[in-house]
Amino acid sequence: MIKLGLASKIWIAMFALVVLVLGISAIFQSGMIEKIYISQQSDHILEIGQDFAGEIEMRGDRLDIDRNVSALAGALNASVLVIDSRAMIISWSANRGMGGMGRRGMMGGGAHGMAFPFDEWDVKEVLGGKTVVRKGNSQLWGFDVIGVAIPVFSENKVAGAVMIHSPLAPIQANLRVIHEAVLYSFLFGIVAATLLAFVFSRKVSGPILKINNVARAMARGDYSQKIPTMSGDELGVLAGSINELSEQIKEKILTIEKIDSTRRGFVASISHELRTPLTIMQGYTEALMDGMARDDLQREKYLMNIYEETIRLRRLVDDLLDLRRLETGTISINMDRADLSDIIQSVSDLFSETFSQRGVSISLNIPQARLIARGDPDRLKQVVINMVDNAVRFSPNGGTVDVKGEEVSGHIRVSVRDQGPGVREEEMQLIWERFYKSDNSRTRRNSGSGLGLAIARQIIEMHGGQVGIESLPGHGSTFWFTVKAESKQLCRNFI
């Protein structure tokens, strides 16, 4: 069994439809043209016959009648028969090839064929005063004729009738020319339809084949191919939809791959972060169990190291839980009046001992006007703590941490600047990812959980604010965030 493609099916369907329509149209047109043409000829003969019937004198000279009949027969290239009210032939004349002149006799019997295609009933009809028009084959002459029978009146009575028989051969010759023209038009239409159907089928099937190729490529995992949309019809819309679908699937796959990569990185990072304090704790615990501590002072030192790593491990777990809750939305943000001036001052007091231990000083730059933001005071304080803690870790001994607060264009901007080694440009976006640590933080002194800045960014984004970093390697870094300031009217209401 032959398996046809879409283009072939469309071509065959269109070709068959066009042939059917053109064929029916050609048959209908030929029939209509023939009918109209014969009708026009019949009307023409009838009009002349009626004029002749109105002028003929049935009781006039027979020679005059014969001459008039002969003249009419020659003019029409027809046979003209005149009968009286008793159906007796008065005069009959036919053009060459159709008979002779002056034949007389009673209608009926051997002379009946002269009146064909009129039958006896038609003769009675015309002698009853009705005009009769017939078309048929004449047994007398052996070919098709148009017959017109017209009553002749004298003194308001039917005195006879004029019967005109015109051969259809000339008309049929003209009709053959018309039929040939229709046939040629039909054949030309088929050829044109064949070409147009071929072009159209290719135009329709081409985009569909391209859509199929792109769909197969998508099934293979190749989402780079696109369907050119060159039209605004349904196929163009379908092509655009498939392109959009391909792009969405590609983005989804990239997102899934990124999530999977992040998950693997998270597992690796958390494993490393957990392993380090656990290894230290295990080492000091085994040392204590083996009696390696020489005295109470060394034993206390070992226990203090275990305690510090326990605190560090607890902080890591707490940060992980906080970040998870923030990302899943299980921690809600209580939007309230947050005084960032007080928050900055309280964080500075909180880190006073840490500053002293690390030999780092802090500089606060806060305007006299209160910095009132719309947000969760506890969560915003956590952000400031994380940024200050990060700055302290990277500030050298004798360095300074600058904390600045200001109101800019309806937002409160808080920045924390350190004098550390700085961050390279390619690391600036990664610095906000969880567990990311720059090369400059690979020391026990500087190491944190790697989650502080990720938590800070998540909190600020939940406030509808922004975070950022400005840094040059060797010249320190400035971490900042912005949140929406409380409206002045609300601030006055609190005063």
| Unique residue bearing structure tokens 């008309």 | 171
In this prediction, residue 137 carries a pLDDT of 66
Domain annotation covers residue 212: no
Range of the domain at 275: 251-324
Please say if the pLDDT value at position 86 is more than 80. yes
In this prediction, residue 407 carries a pLDDT of 92
Mean pLDDT of 148-159: 86
CATH assignment at residue 159: 3.30.450.20
Residues 285, 165 within the same domain:
no
CATH assignment at residue 445: 3.30.565.10
> What is the rounded distance in angstroms from the CA atom of residue 162 to the CA atom of residue 375?
116
Minimum mean pLDDT among 299-303, 324-328, 377-381: which range? 324-328
Better-scored residue on pLDDT, 230 or 162: 162
pLDDT in tens, 211-232: 788 888 888 888 777 877 666 7
In this prediction, residue 338 carries a pLDDT of 92
Q: Which of 338, 322, 419, 425 is nearest to 378 (CA)?
A: 338
> What is the rounded distance in angstroms from the CA atom of residue 495 to the CA atom of residue 462?
27
Domain annotation covers residue 92: yes
> What's the whole-number average pLDDT of the chain?
79
Mean pLDDT of 264-283: 76
Domain annotation covers residue 307: yes
CATH assignment at residue 311: 1.10.287.130
In this prediction, residue 468 carries a pLDDT of 93
Instruction: Calculate what percentage of the chain has a pLDDT beyond 70.
Output: 82
Q: Identity (one letter) of the amino acid at 171?
A: I
User: Last residue of some domain: 116, 151, 174?
Assistant: 174
Distances (CA, A) of 495 to 337, 374, 488: 12, 16, 11
Domain annotation covers residue 223: no
Mean pLDDT of 355-369: 90
Domain annotation covers residue 244: no
Sheet of 132-138: strand order equals: 89-94, 79-84, 157-167, 143-154, 132-138
pLDDT in tens, 306-361: 888 888 788 778 777 777 777 676 677 888 899 999 999 999 998 888 888 888 99
Better-scored residue on pLDDT, 150 or 112: 150
User: Cα angle vertex 412, ends 334, 419, to 5°?
Assistant: 110
Total structural domains in the chain? 3
pLDDT in tens, 249-264: 888 888 788 767 766 7
> What is the rounded distance in angstroms from the CA atom of residue 207 to the CA atom of residue 6?
11
Please say if the pLDDT value at position 21 is more than 90. no
Residues 155, 20 within the same domain:
yes
Phi, psi (degrees; rounded to nearest 5) at 51: -65, -45
Minimum mean pLDDT among 153-167, 355-369, 401-415: which range? 153-167
Residues 20, 163 within the same domain:
yes
Residues 74, 160 within the same domain:
yes
Residues 165, 38 within the same domain:
yes
pLDDT in tens, 330-339: 677 888 899 9
Exposure of 205 in the CB half-sphere (CA atoms within 13 A)? 14
In this prediction, residue 103 carries a pLDDT of 42
Minimum mean pLDDT among 282-286, 326-330, 421-425: which range? 326-330
In this prediction, residue 447 carries a pLDDT of 54
Domain annotation covers residue 243: no
CB atoms within 10 A of CB 190: 15
For residues 246 and 226, the answer to whether their CB atoms sit within 8 Å is yes
Residues 369, 421 within the same domain:
yes
The neighbouring-strand residues paired with 167 are 145
Considering 39-43, 103-107, 463-467, the range whose residues carry the highest mean pLDDT is 463-467
Please say if the pLDDT value at position 384 is more than 70. yes
In this prediction, residue 437 carries a pLDDT of 64
In this prediction, residue 492 carries a pLDDT of 47
User: Last residue of some domain: 295, 324, 353?
Assistant: 324
pLDDT band at 494 (very low <50, low <70, confident <90, very high): very low
Please say if the pLDDT value at position 140 is more than 70. no
pLDDT in tens, 165-215: 887 766 667 777 777 887 888 888 888 878 887 787 777 777 777 878 888
Better-scored residue on pLDDT, 390 or 64: 390
Residues 123, 12 within the same domain:
yes
User: Last residue of some domain: 307, 324, 341?
Assistant: 324
Residues 275, 398 within the same domain:
no
pLDDT in tens, 450-478: 778 888 898 999 899 999 999 888 889 99
Residues 312, 434 within the same domain:
no
In this prediction, residue 262 carries a pLDDT of 65
Residues 260, 121 within the same domain:
no
Sort 427 into a burial class: Cβ within 10 Å, 0-12 / 13-18 / 19+: middle
In this prediction, residue 138 carries a pLDDT of 63
Residues 256, 340 within the same domain:
no
In this prediction, residue 448 carries a pLDDT of 57
Q: Which of 85, 48, 88, 86 is nearest to 68 (CA)?
A: 48
Residues 447, 474 within the same domain:
yes
Domain annotation covers residue 230: no
In this prediction, residue 112 carries a pLDDT of 46
In this prediction, residue 493 carries a pLDDT of 46
Q: Which of 18, 14, 15, 36 is nearest to 26 (CA)?
A: 18
In this prediction, residue 20 carries a pLDDT of 84
Domain annotation covers residue 1: no
Better-scored residue on pLDDT, 435 or 340: 340
Instruction: Return the CA Rg of the chain.
Output: 56
Distances (CA, A) of 347 to 118, 282, 340, 438: 126, 34, 10, 25
In this prediction, residue 12 carries a pLDDT of 80
